Amino acid sequence: MTDTRSQDIDLQEEAGAKFHRGSALSIFKSDRREDFMALMLALLIALGVYLFL
Amino acid sequence: MVYTHKHPALLIMGLVMLAIGASVSLGWQDGIVEYLGLKKVVWEMTSLTYVFGVIAVVVGLWHLFGKHEEGNLDYYLSTVAGVIFILLIAMLVRWYVAPFVAVLSKGLGPVMGAKYLHQVLGLNYVVLGIVAGILVVNVFKVPRWAENGVRLSRLGLKTGVILLGTLYSAAELRQLGALSVVMIGFFVLGSVGMVLWFGARRNIPNSMAGVLSAGMGVCGVSATVAAAPVVQAKSVEIAYTIGTILLWGVGCMFLFPVIGHLLDMGHVQFGAWAGTGILNSAQVAGAALAYQPDGIETLKVAEIFNITRVLVLPIIVVWLAVWFVKREEDAPGVNVGRVIFEKFPMFVIGFLLMFALSSTGIFAPAEHYKGKYFDNDIAAEKLLSEDQVASLQGEAGKVQRQDRQAALTRLIENRKVMSLEDDDVLRGLANAKVLSKDATGLLKKAHKAVRHTAKKVAAFRTWITWLFAFGLVGLGMQITLASIKQAGGQPLVIGGIVGTTKAVLSLIVVLLFVQETI
């Protein structure tokens, strides 16, 4: 049986609206910040690959 | 609020990873490796388990015994448990579950031409990983200690997309980019217009039509959330839209690869179709990797289409803002420049930056193709021997075409392939089987001597594969029944009509006009 509390993971509140987002959740405050962090992580991986291989 | 949970799960998962790595290193799993055909991934099974196992044990000890206070350290380190949870599931599925399903499927024999059941149904580690995620969240429950980590899966997908920039050649990007601009331009604008037109005919509120058109036209959930404030969508309208998109997107993610295999589509064709016809970015990646789990050529094509579509988002948001203001007298005005700046997806800049870096040749010679490049500055022992050259010379008379004769003459004179063009021509000669088996073997030997694999590009491929595997298992853990149950009413009907039209039309266009020549 589905645990009803398990369905809360994608609940999102944005501008007063509450809905199940269903995907694309993030720990960052904005998409812009997440994009920036992804860029930093990618550059870090690229640096590692460049230096160690 | 303190996010870190004093829980032994992370520590235990770290020890499990280390145990897997150690047992493979010590040969205790040799029988399993042989039975499941895992020799190619033994390196992954030891290196990844050791690296992430150590991280999990160290952070796990801190989770269990450390003193946690509210702040960034607590917030970000609390994600490690969820990340390791997803990675462990991805590892088990990729190394054990999917290969076992393949072994069972091969035991049944081919079911369609030379294809086995698991290939036709796309039952590979990508699909099984997403299914595992869906099962975890809907049948069991994502543990509280893992929730923050699950929210990092989109970061994994975005990082994977940015790193994909290292794998394209300029010619590839130019050709795919032109094709994607034409197809995405037509189908995105067409879908948005179609939803708005249907919305007016079926008398649904402008806010509902507006938010649904963004979701159906551009890139799913992100576009829905981005467009919602512009058309003043209510939460129930956002919920209807997301439900429709997810129901459609999840169905497509599993169905598209099966149709692709039935129609025997090429990688470029399938990538173009998935990138155009599937609504949500993550599900595009899921379908592309499900179609070609042992390589990323399809993913490369699909992501170019996806990126092109994401780039259209600011334009659509402006279009909807202007459209909404015209229909709703009390709607506030919109600062178009600000909307474009705020909604512009910055990770696309990262993708272009990686492509620019890669084009300078720092990871591999700029002319590399699929990680392979030409270099005939080779050691003396790799040159053809005098006997081998004499053997080729003896058969040179069999070659009729002038370009092949010239390339073969240069090979005989220099004992090695002299240019990329000669290499292509000689490969054509080898494939044509004009020469004897031995001589053809010598041509292949000469080819191998001058074609090199770029280790850095190979490493990027491995990173990208794992970032997407991580992101997609995490994506599965966010697909709740509650989110899909949000679908219903007129939005579901309109979404179904527009989504089906887009998928069928784009399939026809792809089959008619997209060739496997890129």
pLDDT confidence of residue B23: 97
Are B327 and B469 found together in one domain? yes
pLDDT confidence of residue B366: 66
Closest partner residue to A39 among B140, B162, B342, by Cβ? Answer: B162
pLDDT confidence of residue B54: 97
User: CA-CA distances (angstroms) from residue B416 to B109, B409, B425, B435, B449?
Assistant: 43, 11, 14, 18, 8
Of B405, B438, B453, which closes a domain?
B453
Residues of B in contact with A3 (CB under 8 A): 140-141
DSSP string, B68-120: --SSHHHHHHTHHHHHHHHHHHHHHIIIIIHHHHHHHHHHH--SBTTB-HHHH
pLDDT confidence of residue B369: 66
pLDDT (mean) for B296-315: 87
Domain count, chain B: 3
ipTM of the complex: 0.80
Mean pLDDT of chain B: 87
How many CB atoms are closer than 10 A to CB B200?
A: 12
Residues of B in contact with A46 (CB under 8 A): 163, 166, 354, 357, 363, 460
Structure-block tokens of residue B509: 């266009």
Q: How long a stretch of residues is chain B? A: 518
Listed by number, the residues of chain B in 66-95 with a beta carbon closer than 8 Å to a beta carbon of chain A are 75-76, 79
Confidence of residue B320 (pLDDT cuts 50, 70, 90): confident
Closest partner residue to B229 among A2, A15, A20, by Cβ? Answer: A15
Are B282 and B336 found together in one domain? yes
How many CB atoms are closer than 10 A to CB B348?
A: 19
* Contact between chains at A27 and B148 (C-beta distance less than 8 A): yes
Tokens 């998962």 belong to residue: B13
Are B234 and B288 found together in one domain? yes
Are B75 and B128 found together in one domain? yes
Q: Is residue B379 assigned to a domain?
A: no
How many CB atoms are closer than 10 A to CB B173?
A: 17
Are B41 and B126 found together in one domain? yes
pLDDT in tens, B356-403: 888 888 887 766 666 677 888 888 888 999 999 999 999 888 888 888
pLDDT confidence of residue B49: 96
- Cβ atoms of B258 and B231 closer than 8 Å: no
pLDDT confidence of residue B200: 86
Q: Is residue B45 assigned to a domain?
A: yes
Are B189 and B212 found together in one domain? yes
| pLDDT of B495 strictly over 60 | yes
Distance in angstroms (rounded) separating the CA atoms of residues A52 and A6: 42
> What is the percent of chain A where pLDDT is above 70?
55
How many CB atoms are closer than 10 A to CB B517?
A: 7
Q: Which of B472, B373, B397, B393 is nearest to B131 (CA)?
A: B472
Residues of B in contact with A51 (CB under 8 A): none
| pLDDT of B217 strictly over 80 | yes
* Domain of B448, in residue numbers: 386-453
| pLDDT of B503 strictly over 80 | yes
Which segment, B4-8, B18-22, B205-209, is predicted with the most confidence on average?
A: B18-22
Are B52 and B69 found together in one domain? yes
Which segment, A30-34, A49-53, B15-19, B439-443, is predicted with the most confidence on average?
A: B15-19
Q: Is residue B370 assigned to a domain?
A: no
Are B84 and B168 found together in one domain? no
Give the CA diameter of chain A.
50
φ, ψ for residue B476, nearest 5 deg: -55, -35
Tell me which of A17-31, B2-16, B57-71 is least confident.
Answer: A17-31
Are B323 and B413 found together in one domain? no
Q: Is residue B318 assigned to a domain?
A: yes
Tokens 């839209």 belong to residue: B241
pLDDT confidence of residue B324: 83
Confidence of residue B326 (pLDDT cuts 50, 70, 90): confident
Q: In this predicted model, which residue has the larger pLDDT, B242 or B486?
A: B242
pLDDT in tens, B133-152: 989 988 988 898 998 888 89
From A15's Cα to the closest Cα of chain B, the distance in A is 8
pLDDT confidence of residue B347: 82
- Cβ atoms of B271 and B302 closer than 8 Å: yes
| pLDDT of A2 strictly over 50 | no
Helix (H, G, I), strand (E, B) or coil at A20: strand
Buried b (16+ CB within 10 A) or exposed e, B325-341: beeeeebeebeeeebee
Are B448 and B462 found together in one domain? no
Confidence of residue A41 (pLDDT cuts 50, 70, 90): very high
Distance in angstroms (rounded) separating the CA atoms of residues B36 and B47: 19
Are B84 and B147 found together in one domain? yes
pLDDT (mean) for A14-41: 77
Residues of A in contact with B150 (CB under 8 A): 9, 25
Listed by number, the residues of chain B in 330-359 with a beta carbon closer than 8 Å to a beta carbon of chain A are 342, 345-347, 349-350, 353-354, 357
pLDDT (mean) for B208-223: 83
- Cβ atoms of A11 and A25 closer than 8 Å: no
Confidence of residue A5 (pLDDT cuts 50, 70, 90): low
| pLDDT of A3 strictly over 50 | no
Distance in angstroms (rounded) separating the CA atoms of residues B396 and B434: 10
Are B339 and B192 found together in one domain? yes
Tokens 């991805």 belong to residue: B90
What element of type H or E holds A14?
A: strand A11-14
Q: Is residue B127 assigned to a domain?
A: yes
Identity at B130, one-letter amino acid code: I
Distance in angstroms (rounded) separating the CA atoms of residues B201 and B210: 14
Confidence of residue B409 (pLDDT cuts 50, 70, 90): very high
* Contact between chains at A9 and B155 (C-beta distance less than 8 A): no
Q: Is residue B343 assigned to a domain?
A: yes
Q: Which of B59, B29, B61, B63 is nearest to B46 (CA)?
A: B29
Task: Give the HSE-up count for residue B413: Cα atoms under 13 Å, Cβ half-sphere.
Answer: 7
Confidence of residue B42 (pLDDT cuts 50, 70, 90): very high
pLDDT (mean) for B208-235: 81
pLDDT confidence of residue A1: 37
pLDDT confidence of residue B518: 46
Q: Is residue B375 assigned to a domain?
A: no
B contact test, residue of A3, A12, A19, A31 with most B CBs within 10 A: A19
Predicted TM-score (pTM) of the model is 0.80
Q: Which of A13, A30, A9, A5 is nearest to B148 (CA)?
A: A9
* Contact between chains at A22 and B455 (C-beta distance less than 8 A): no
> What is the percent of chain B where pLDDT is above 70?
97
Closest partner residue to A42 among B142, B163, B221, by Cβ? Answer: B163
From A4's Cα to the closest Cα of chain B, the distance in A is 9
Q: Is residue B518 assigned to a domain?
A: no
